[in-house]
């Protein structure tokens, strides 16, 4: 079956359909990864986007459920040069086409993905319509023009209820803005007691979970579309150690007074060089984001830049000068290097332990007794003393 991709500038690509059928509108982006297409498909940060893979052969090792980064894919379309229908991999459980069909995702193959990528790099990301219908160009143009890109991606991909991954050490509240499973895996490897909460969880609700630290996850879209999350971070800043990843990094920056802006075509792939300004070391990182922290806006805040992108010099890491809080724009739970950046989880745990030493807390029993006394003040008369004794 034929499939077509129409861009908002009028460019039309015609290829072969695989996966599901129908119409789908999304922001057309590209990913430069040579491998990892199923991690791309299952990354909630791609919600609302039509993803183009720049590597020409996709689907050759099939799909393995154990390697997923979430329960299901959230992308709005998949664009490849060549789709391999018969995978060669003893671990493969099903094909790429069958995965897309199961979740209602349209795929298109046989188009010039190099041309498409060059167009996005030159003009920037743009809205696109992916279709398997036989509608006229005029009808498709009208459909695309009348559509709008979603702004509620975080609410769509976040968990709707609290759940845990039990451990015996530090309790980490992971705020799920579209969290990849790799984040939970890395925390569980360190025997952390992980509690995953929805994206609209308030600061007070997080306090009731008695965390040792708070981790702000990755997620899709514009960080300014989730102002409630920025407010939550503001309230918790300085009270608990905070670690932000990707979207969490941008939310942390906004909460500290910095600003964010949209990149021309974003960073998506597993080969982005990032320089650690403290050690001078360069890390090869996995990235997936379309927004960045504005460098000039950091100057008037209490934030310090810790990492930069060696390709375009954009900000890749921040830390607070006063409070125990830091963030990175890239994905330390991913393994492109292969495990170069996983030390950041160790740094987070070390920060939590130092914070607890520097800020000793009363034992829980003493805290509960103090709360009871506050609610039940000591008697000032004989009558009150009798009532107090009854309690």
Which residue of the set 39, 69, 170, 333 is catalytic? 333
Q: In this structure, what are the phi and psi dihedrals at residue 100, rounded to the nearest 5 degrees? A: -65, -40
Does 116 appear as a known binding residue? no
347 φψ region: left (φ > 0), alpha (ψ -120 to 50), beta (else): alpha
Does 45 appear as a known binding residue? yes
Does 300 appear as a known binding residue? no
Catalytic: 246?
yes
Angle made by CA atoms 320, 355, 315, in degrees to the nearest 5: 25
Could you give the maximum distance between any two Cα atoms of the chain, in Å? 90
Catalytic: 39?
no
Does 48 appear as a known binding residue? no
Does 107 appear as a known binding residue? no
Which residue of the set 192, 246, 256, 289 is catalytic? 246
Does 337 appear as a known binding residue? no
230 CB neighbour count, 10 Å cutoff: 17
Does 279 appear as a known binding residue? no
Does 146 appear as a known binding residue? no
Distance CA 70, CA 43 (A): 6
The secondary structure of the chain, three-state, reads CEEEEEECCCCEEEEEEEECCCEEEEEEEEECCCCCHHHHHCCHHHCCEEEEECCCEECCCCECHHHCCCCCCCCCEEECCEECCCCCCCCCCECHHHHHHHCCCEEEECCCHHHHHHHHHHHCCEEEEEECCCCCHHHHHHHHHCCCCCCCHHHHHCCCCCEEECCCCCEEEEECCCCCHHHHHHHHHCCCEEEEECCCCCHHHHHHCCCCEEEECCCCCCHHHCHHHHHHHHHHECCECEEEECHHHHHHHHHCCCCEEEEEEEEEEEEEEEEECCCCCEEEEEEEEEEEECHHHHCCCCEEEEEEECCCCCEEEEEECCCCEEEECCCCCCCCCCCCCCHHHHHHHHHHHHHHHHCCCCCHHHHHHHHHHHHCCCCCCHHHHHHHHHC
Catalytic: 256?
no
Task: List, by residue number, the catalytic residues.
Answer: 246, 331, 333
Annotated binding residues for L-glutamine, written as ranges, equal 45, 219, 221, 247, 250, 288, 290-291
Annotated binding residues, written as ranges, equal 45, 219, 221, 247, 250, 288, 290-291
């Amino acid at each position: 079956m034929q499939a077509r991709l129409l861009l908002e500038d009028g460019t039309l690509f015609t290829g072969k359909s695989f996966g599901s059928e129908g119409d789908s509108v999304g922001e057309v982006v590209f990913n430069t990864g040579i491998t990892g297409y199923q991690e791309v498909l299952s990354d909630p940060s791609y919600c609302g986007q039509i993803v183009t893979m720049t590597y020409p052969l996709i689907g050759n090792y099939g799909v393995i459920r154990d390697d997923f980064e979430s329960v299901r894919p959230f992308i709005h379309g998949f664009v490849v040069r060549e789709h391999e229908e018969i995978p060669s991999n003893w671990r493969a459980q099903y094909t790429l086409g069958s995965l897309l069909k199961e979740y209602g995702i349209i795929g298109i193959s046989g188009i010039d993905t190099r041309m498409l990528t060059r167009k996005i790099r030159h003009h920037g990301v743009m809205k696109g319509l992916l279709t398997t219908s036989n509608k006229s160009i005029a009808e498709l143009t009208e459909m695309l023009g009348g559509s709008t890109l979603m702004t509620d991606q975080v609410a769509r991909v976040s968990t709707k209820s609290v759940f845990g991954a039990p451990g015996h050490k530090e309790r980490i509240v992971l705020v799920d803005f579209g969290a990849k499973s790799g984040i939970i895996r890395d925390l569980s490897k360190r025997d952390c007691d992980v509690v995953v909460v929805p994206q609209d969880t308030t600061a007070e609700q997080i306090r009731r979970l008695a965390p040792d630290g708070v981790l702000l996850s990755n997620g899709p879209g514009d960080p300014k579309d989730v102002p409630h999350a920025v407010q939550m971070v503001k309230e918790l800043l300085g009270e608990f150690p905070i670690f932000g990843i990707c979207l969490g990094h941008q939310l942390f920056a906004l909460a500290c007074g910095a600003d964010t802006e949209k990149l021309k075509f974003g960073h998506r792939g597993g080969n982005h060089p990032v320089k650690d300004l403290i050690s001078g070391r360069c890390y090869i990182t996995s990235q997936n984001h379309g927004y960045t922290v504005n460098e000039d806006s950091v100057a008037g805040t209490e934030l310090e830049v810790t990492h930069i992108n060696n390709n375009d010099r954009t900000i890749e890491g921040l830390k607070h000068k006063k409070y125990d809080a830091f963030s990175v724009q890239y994905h330390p739970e991913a393994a492109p290097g292969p495990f170069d950046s996983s030390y950041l989880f160790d740094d987070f745990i070390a920060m939590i332990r130092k914070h607890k030493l520097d800020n000793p807390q009363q034992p829980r029993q003493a805290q509960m007794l103090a709360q009871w006394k506050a609610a039940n003040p000591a008697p000032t008369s004989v009558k009150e003393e009798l009532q107090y004794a009854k309690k």
